[in-house]
Copies of this chain bind each other. A is one copy, B any other.
Amino acid sequence: MLAEQRRHHIMLELQRTGQARTSQLAENFGVSEVTIRSDLEILDAKKQLIKTHGGAIALPAGSPAAAFEERMNRNFDAKRRIAQMAARQIIDNQSVVFDSGSTLLQLAMQMPPVTNVVVATTAMNIAQHLMYRPGLDVHMIGGRVFPNTVSTIVSDSDKAVGGLVAHQAFVSAHAIDQSFDVVDVSEDIARTKRNLVRMARRVILVADSSKWDIGASSKAFSLSRVDLIITDSGMPHGIRSRLDKLGVEVRYV
């Protein structure tokens, strides 16, 4: 049986029962568990299922918002620690820009009490989390709404927040490729991140270690444009030594 066909059958099984165990699938198809795991990883990357410990579960039915919630849980612990460290960078009387994404939502949820801070964001869920907090002035950056991340696509940063120049921008990465460029799945999203970066004097990148050395189609900006990288220490050794030589401040949590 061809690999592609086997993956299709995995999807069928998953749609039938809602879950599938690695061990079970390996036995059924007569291949090793490692092979099944790589199948699941591929299907997960295509957002056709959600890989879990021991197997995989079907995507939550209906709302893609539920799917976002599920993805929020991935690498949750690393994201939380990264967000905690990032939150400490925010001080009173500052204006900050928040990108969208699960790590940034975590950051919003962990934000310490501050006074007179302006937050501008493209993410609706972040705006809704922060808008009731005292001491915060929350601005939604307008643009076309992108359902996957519940956030807006920004075409031109000048018009974004009336020419606001922020002290700091907190940006996440979908992936970081071999030449140390922050890349994303579409030019729209890449351009948005590029514009957010342009809005701030200091750029802080938050990225858990699963993002390193992965390619994607559209370049957003180079790591050299970043002032501080907050990540966890789970990336391959080669990456880490190159990163330390780059001259950008890196903090491992």
Contact = CB atoms under 8 A, between A and B. Distances in A.
How many identical chains are in the complex? 2
Interface in A1-35: 1-5, 8, 18-19, 21
A3 B53 CA distance: 7
Nearest to A137: B144
A141 B139 contact: no
A103 to B, nearest CB: 14
A25 to B, nearest CB: 13
A238 interface: no
A45 B144 CA distance: 33
A140 B139 contact: no
A139 B142 CA distance: 7
Nearest to A3: B53
Nearest to A148: B131
Contact of A140 (B63, B76, B140): B140
Contact of A57 (B8, B109, B155): B8
A161 interface: yes
Interface string A126-169: 01100110000111111111110010100110011110000000
A1 B139 CA distance: 44
A55 to B, nearest CB: 6
Contacts of A21: 2
A240 B136 CA distance: 44
17 contacts: A2-B21, A2-B54, A3-B53, A63-B132, A64-B132, A124-B128, A131-B146, A131-B147, A137-B144, A139-B152, A140-B143, A140-B152, A141-B142, A142-B152, A142-B161, A155-B162, A159-B162
Interface of A: 1-5, 8, 18-19, 21, 45-47, 50, 52-55, 57, 63-65, 72-73, 76, 80, 109, 124, 127-128, 131-132, 137-147, 150, 152, 155-156, 159-162
Given A63-B132, A140-B152, 15 more contacts: A2-B52, A2-B57, A5-B52, A64-B132, A65-B128, A124-B124, A124-B127, A127-B145, A131-B145, A138-B144, A139-B145, A139-B152, A140-B144, A142-B142, A159-B159
